[in-house]
Amino acid sequence: MLLLVGSLIVLIALIAWLRLHAFLALILTCIFTGLCARMDPVILLKSIQDGVGGTLGGLALVIGFGMLLGSLLAETGAIKVISQRLLGFFGEQRAVWALVFTGSVIGLAMFYNAGFVILAPLVFSIARQTGQSLVPLAIAMAAPLSVTHCFLPPHPGATAVANVMQADLGQTLLLGMVVGIPAILVAGLFFPGFLKKIPSSPPKGIFPESHTDKRQQPSFFICLVAALLPVLLMASATVSALALPEGNSLRSFLAFIGDANIAMMLSVLAALFFLVALRGQKIGPALEQSAGSLGSIAGIMLILGAGGAFKEVLLDSGIGQQLAERLTGLPVSPLVLGWLIATVMRIAVGSATVAGMTAAGIAQPLLQGGTVSPELMTLAIGAGSVMCSHVNDTGFWMFREWFGLSLRDTFRTWTLMETIVGVVGLMGVLALDIWI
């Protein structure tokens, strides 16, 4: 615990006091933590490399294609059309409701990172049209994505924990929705009301405003299809995995096009066709203009990779595992204990999926005797796995860099929002435990 706290103090000092770039500060903290944990220098370097590669390997294409898609949707006026329709339905004063609703729908079918890069342009567009502060709108978008990620199968973390606990996926999904709705309402609707005065400075050139004449804007239906195509492709893969047997050719095809990387690429190509080519515009200049926005995410990618390296060092050094194992003897409810173990793992290693899986392995024996519902234990661990997100979590850096927040304000917004989701989630689980 002292080493973990000391590492966080070093990282915060390097960024906040010495004003080092977060990428360099994270790599230096990785080296400091690994050497203090007495890791072999060669193994430490491999952990850093594996952390960077593993993180960017799963994120680079999704973020890159997502940035292209978001830029195309912004430059062609598609995002503006969608935001105008949403604001027309909910009203400008309820822009937060519009984003919470959209984030909940997208989050049901799309993994967090993909959903984030798809919805970020919508946040910028609504902020420009309404004149509202960017930060509350960003939290309203991110909260439902986080809730669906940690509570609802078929998201990988929730599904993996449910399998370890031998929980019924259908029951877990239904109970997860019961627990998730209050968490979304508190974290996504109530909490953003306190964040209106927090400043933000997003990267220049990210999702520029469209100046397309209203008469030249694409139809709402075309805009909606272009924006939701990644969701539809990923959802088709999920449904086919549940409905079709392994080895089925249709299932294999849908799994391929429903992979997050392929789905985002196909969506970029579809946007170029429907929003550019069919409207009589040249694809080359449109794509070149959108590709110019990729430069704004170069720093973000480096920081995400370094955050993954920090997570890997904490994992390989055994710090998180040792802390979690020491909690198993505490005289508290098994559900609270599962949540607490997942929380400690989340603080120690950063990844919600790793935290949930590790906590599930440690807490699984607590189910012996049949006194605890495996579905509720799955949800309790899911709630703990999103607690206290901080500098070793790639989601923390995505939110900070995308919306241009200071380190302090990221803790006050993103970290607190994730903690609210975790606490409200645990309260919901304990309330359901009375009746189940």
pLDDT at 36: 92
Q: Is the pLDDT of residue 190 over 90?
A: yes
What is the DSSP code string of 120-154?
Answer: HHHHHHHHHHH---HHHHHHHHHHHHHHHHHHSTT
Contact 384, 335 (CB under 8 A): no
Point out the least confidently predicted range of 46-50, 117-121, 210-214: 210-214
Determine the Cα–Cα distance for residues 84 and 48; give it in Å rounded to an integer: 45
Mean predicted lDDT score pLDDT of the chain: 82
Mean pLDDT of 27-35: 91
Contact 269, 69 (CB under 8 A): no
Is the pLDDT at 69 greater than 60? The verdict is: yes
pLDDT at 70 over 80: no
Average pLDDT over residues 352-381: 79
Residue 415 confidence (pLDDT)? 95
Please give the average per-residue pLDDT across 391-409, as a whole number. Answer: 88
Percent of the chain with pLDDT over 90: 25
pLDDT of res. 412: 94
Give the mean pLDDT of 51-55: 82
pLDDT at 321: 66
Q: What is the pLDDT of residue 72?
A: 82
Express each pLDDT in 346-361 by its tens digit: 887 777 877 787 677 6
Q: What local confidence, expressed as pLDDT, does residue 411 receive?
A: 94
Structure tokens at 206: 């990210």
- The reported pLDDT for the residue numbered 192 is 94
Residue 428: the pLDDT is: 95
pLDDT at residue 221, rounded to an integer: 87
Q: Average pLDDT for residues 159-173, to the nearest whole number?
A: 78
Mean pLDDT across 380-407: 89
The residues, any chain, with a CB within 8 Å of residue 379's CB and separated by 6 or more, are 151, 172, 175, 176, 179, 425, 428, 429
pLDDT level of residue 156 (50, 70, 90 thresholds): low
pLDDT attached to residue 325: 67
Q: CA geometry: angle at 362 spanning 357 and 363, to 5°? A: 95
Q: In residues, how long is the chain?
A: 436
| E strand or H helix that includes residue 271 | helix 260-271
What's the whole-model pTM score? Answer: 0.70
Q: What is the pLDDT of residues 277-332, one digit of tens each?
A: 887 778 877 777 666 667 666 776 787 688 778 778 877 887 766 766 676 667 78
User: Distance (Å, rounded) from C-alpha 324 to C-alpha 157?
Assistant: 18
pLDDT, mean of residues 144-172: 79
Answer whether the bond into residue 154 is a cis peptide, omega within 30°.
Answer: yes
Total Cβ atoms within 10 A of residue 386: 30
* pLDDT at residue number 432: 93
Q: Which residue has the higher pLDDT, 89 or 367?
A: 89
Alpha carbons 378 and 363: distance in angstroms, whole number? 10
Asked if the model's pLDDT at residue 214 lies above 70, the reply is no
pLDDT of residue 380: 95
274, 220 Cβ separation under 8 angstroms? no
pLDDT tens, residue by residue, 237-250: 878 887 888 889 99
Averaged pLDDT for residues 17-36: 87
Q: Average pLDDT of 182-211?
A: 83
Are the C-beta atoms of residues 348 and 314 closer than 8 Å to each other? Answer: yes
